[in-house]
Structure 1
Amino acid sequence: MENNQQKQPKQHKPNSEYMVNYLVDENARLTKENAMLKAIIQEQNEQFQEMNESKEVNG
């Protein structure tokens, strides 16, 4: 039984490394997605402002 207890931490180490790598990759993906969504929102806001300004001038 002592051998099983000694091996257990070694079994968890690769899983921990895998999770850290997965989370780092996921964080990078979400950071990129967040930047793209912010750019889209900014572009839409600019278009909305242009439409409103155009309506005010032509209104």
Structure 2
Amino acid sequence: MIGELLESQPEIALFASLALGYLIGSFRIGPIQLGGVCGTLILSLLIGQTGAHLA
């Protein structure tokens, strides 16, 4: 269901990866904090596995 939505509306995948990645990057686990860029990259890789393509 989510994969179909992201395939039909790739803009949602783009902005979701930016927003949620920044949110994930702000969490601190002990002395480690990923940061907004790293969180966005990790989440973008996960969203890319659903088949969403920005063409």
Q: TM-score range by the shorter chain?
A: 0.3 to 0.5
Query: Which structure is higher in helix share?
Result: 1
Larger relative CO (CA 8 A, sep 6+): 1 or 2? 2
Larger Rg: 1
User: TM-score, normalised to structure 1's length?
Assistant: 0.34
TM-score, with length taken from structure 2: 0.36
